[in-house]
Amino acid sequence: MNQQQQQSGTKIQNPKTQIPETPQMNDRDYINDILATEKYMTGSYSTALNEASHQGFYGDLQGIFNESQQCQRNLFNLMFEKGWYSFEASDSQKLTESYQQFQGYSNQFPY
């Protein structure tokens, strides 16, 4: 502060920053975010497993992958139990049509 400011007792303040107001996250939001992270991680570990050439490294990655996959499943089960993750029943005719469509594709396999 310069002498004039000291004598008058005024303070210099930074301009107020504009911070957008966002709603607070609830338990469902947090668990959904963690579930999405676990899904991303298991996908990444799967890719790493496909590329690992050292057997010891592969074994370590596989253990971590399994733990991450189990965590993902536990989070999914928790969300399902709380009603935060739901499914719609499929029409049996649509299931039959899809099955027949993909059964036709299996005839194209070389083995």
Query: Would you write out the chain's pLDDT as a tens digit for each of its 111 residues?
Result: 555 555 566 788 877 777 777 788 899 999 999 999 999 999 999 999 999 999 999 999 999 999 999 999 999 999 999 999 888 888 889 889 888 888 877 777 777
Compute how many other C-beta atoms are within 10 angstroms of the C-beta atom of residue 72: 19
Say if CB 47 and CB 81 are below 8 A apart: no
Helices assigned H by DSSP within the chain:
3-8, 27-51, 55-81, 92-106
CA 77, CA 16: separation in Å to the nearest integer? 45
Say if CB 39 and CB 72 are below 8 A apart: yes
The whole-chain average pLDDT of the chain stands at 87
pLDDT at residue 52 in the model = 95
Where do we find the tokens 């999914």?
76
83: its two tokens:
């009603």
